[in-house]
Amino acid sequence: MKATNYLHSSIHRTLKNIRHNWGLYLLLLPSVILLICFSYRPMYGVVIAFKDFKPTLGIMGSSWADPWYKYFLRFFKSFQFKTTITNTLVINLYSLLVNFPLPIIMALMINQMYSRKFKRIFQTITYMPHFISTVVMVGLIMIFLSPGSGFLGNLCNLLGFEAPNLMGKAKAFTSIYVWSDAWQHTGWDSIIYIAALSTVDTNLYEAATIDGASKWQKLRYIDIPMIIPTASILLIMRVGNLMSLGFEKVYLMQNDLNLSASEVIATYVYKIGINSAQYSYSAAINMFNTVINFILLITVNKITKKISENSLW
């Protein structure tokens, strides 16, 4: 009797809370509607990966594929399977290894500058490349690396040897991709760590100085622990998107000569789906990618939770 009374009153309180906070639900409404229409509805559309989808028949009207895993099997057996998976993993892991730690190092470095003016100039300048669009960035890469007329070509001429055509070399593709990203985004990505560092209580530094701590020790024992929570969350988010990052830039940097290193799952999905309109096959490849991604996300969240007690959920 008491238990049901308790239940009743707690339901009553919840309802009262919802009624009372109706304004908050109204604030949430636009974003929830957009998510349902353009994020959740396409999730239902994933079933076309198991169907012989024909646009004229619609999702419901199209018949089931026979066997249901037909399009997955086709991808596993296709000669693009190994290439696209390897390229996706290599590009993204290389990028993670370089572009995850660099912003942290830069933030720690900026935090060490005690000339305010220099700090501000440094930040403003290193943020600037972030505003360059992907299209312009790839254009810049081409201008600089062109062996005939570009910066690299001229530099090589000056030093007296023949310039290599780097954009046409499959081997150079991944490095160009990753290091141009580092050039463009390291400064900007450091902002979030600088914000985390700005919350350090200055008394802590003073106390450490009085205790005779060197700059290096202060960095090691005050700054680094301060940014670990932020770093963990960003790491999880990054790994959780490991398989789907960078379509735009890879696609723009692709040419016939470097295709063996630059065809990734995302670009293949695009070509199969949009260019040759094989909807079911494209959706199946995409779904395979998403599932792997999701497994990675859950794993890395579990690992960071264990190691640093920080996690996304």
Q: Please give the C-alpha separations between residue 54 and each of 74, 115, 280, 287, in angstroms, as whole numbers.
A: 18, 65, 9, 18
As measured in angstroms, the least distance from the Cβ of 142 to another protein is 5
By CB under 8 A, which span of 2-10, 67-75, 93-101, 154-162 interacts with another protein? 154-162
CA separation for the pair 139, 136 (Å, rounded)? 5
Q: How far apart are the first and last CA of the chain?
A: 36
Check residue 136 for interaction with another protein (CB under 8 A): yes
Peptide bond into 147 cis (omega under 30): no
Residue in the structure block whose two tokens are 């794993």: 299
By CB under 8 A, which span of 69-77, 92-100, 169-177, 282-290 interacts with another protein? 282-290
User: What is the footprint of another protein within residues 243-262 (CB under 8 A)?
Assistant: 247-248, 252, 255
Of 9, 10, 42, 201, the one binding another protein (CB under 8 A) is: 42
Cβ atoms of 45 and 23 within 8 Å: the answer is no
As measured in angstroms, the least distance from the Cβ of 307 to another protein is 16
Check residue 128 for interaction with another protein (CB under 8 A): yes
Check residue 127 for interaction with another protein (CB under 8 A): yes
The CA angle 269-272-273, to the nearest 5 degrees, is 75
Check residue 140 for interaction with another protein (CB under 8 A): yes
Q: Based on CB atoms, which residue is closest to another protein, 6 or 229?
A: 229
By CB under 8 A, which span of 3-11, 67-75, 85-93, 213-221 interacts with another protein? 213-221
As measured in angstroms, the least distance from the Cβ of 1 to another protein is 26
Check residue 313 for interaction with another protein (CB under 8 A): yes
As measured in angstroms, the least distance from the Cβ of 69 to another protein is 17
As measured in angstroms, the least distance from the Cβ of 24 to another protein is 4
Of 148, 160, 203, 210, the one binding another protein (CB under 8 A) is: 148
User: What is the footprint of another protein within residues 70-99 (CB under 8 A)?
Assistant: none
As measured in angstroms, the least distance from the Cβ of 171 to another protein is 20
Structure tokens at 14: 């919840």
Of 74, 78, 230, 238, the one binding another protein (CB under 8 A) is: 230
Helix 134-145 vs helix 170-189: crossing angle, to nearest 10: 130
As measured in angstroms, the least distance from the Cβ of 82 to another protein is 21
Structure tokens at 60: 């419901």
Q: Which 3-state string (H, E, C) describes 80-147?
A: HHHHHHHHHHHHHHHHHHHHCHHHHHHHHHHHHCCCHHHHHHHHHHHHHHHHCCHHHHHHHHHHHHCC
Instruction: Put residue 209 in one of left, alpha, beta given phi > 0 → left and psi -120 to 50 → alpha.
Output: alpha
